[in-house]
Amino acid sequence: MFFLTPALDLKLFLLINQQWRCGLLDVIMPLLSSKTALFIVLALALAFAMLRLGWRQVLLFAVLLVGMGISDATTGVVKNQINRVRPLNAIAGTHHQAHGPWTQRPMDFVQTKEKGDSYPSAHASNSMCLAVLALLLWPGLKKWPLLLPLLVGYSRVYLGKHYPTDVLAGWLLGLVVGYAVWLLWKYGLSRYFPEKA
């Protein structure tokens, strides 16, 4: 499927990726997109939750991880239908970083790839799913978990991996999956795991 990038989408990508840059963000943004960093934080959060609230937290964290897994798999299905090329493989001057130093596409760069996996952003989808489930499973967290998908989504554009519309689509997908998983847990599976057995 051919995906035409809207003008506003491209303009916002260029602002975030090529103009609104600084050394501090060059360090922070890869960390926000790091799956390793995310799972370290989740492991620490689980340990803390178990110490304060008991064994049942393991079950709630399992619901969280299952939701993220469903979100990731669903995103992959959509990506394979859309085949949108990532901006780092399409836009001249794009700054990008994977596992090494930052690099930039030359200004005379020309897109050669015809297919990609840019739309929607799995990072955005998974982080939104995590945030939605965290809000619903642990209401005491207030709205703080929503910061995660906002920061992760921005990092994906900053890193040259996604357009803003990729991130928006990922957020929407993660919201739907997260809420659906919570409904399944709340009105189905949770009755098999009462809080006080």
What's the mean pLDDT when you consider all of the chain?
Answer: 92
Residue 125 covered by a domain: yes
pLDDT digits (tens, 9 = 90+) for 45-67: 888 888 887 778 888 999 999 99
Q: What does the alpha-carbon distance between residue 182 and residue 124 come to, in Å, rounded to a whole number?
A: 18
Residue 22 covered by a domain: no
pLDDT digits (tens, 9 = 90+) for 87-109: 999 999 999 997 789 999 999 99
**Whole-structure pTM value:** 0.91
Residue 25 covered by a domain: no
Residue 47 covered by a domain: yes
Task: Count how many domains the chain has.
Answer: 1
Cβ(21)–Cβ(155) below 8 Å: no
Residue 153 covered by a domain: yes
Please report the pLDDT score of residue 54 as a whole number: 76
What CA–CA distances, in Å, run from 43 to 62, 70, 72, 135? 12, 20, 19, 18
pLDDT digits (tens, 9 = 90+) for 170-194: 999 999 999 999 999 988 877 766 6
Q: What does the alpha-carbon distance between residue 155 and residue 19 come to, in Å, rounded to a whole number?
A: 14
Specify the length of the chain in residues: 197
Residue 186 covered by a domain: yes
Domain that holds residue 126: 30-192
The conformational region for residue 138 under phi > 0 = left, psi -120 to 50 = alpha, else beta, is beta
Provide the H-helix boundaries in 105-163: 122-137, 147-158
The residue-averaged pLDDT of 157-163 equals: 97
Residue 13 covered by a domain: no
Provide the H-helix boundaries in the chain: 7-14, 23-32, 35-53, 56-82, 122-137, 147-158, 164-187
Residue 98 covered by a domain: yes
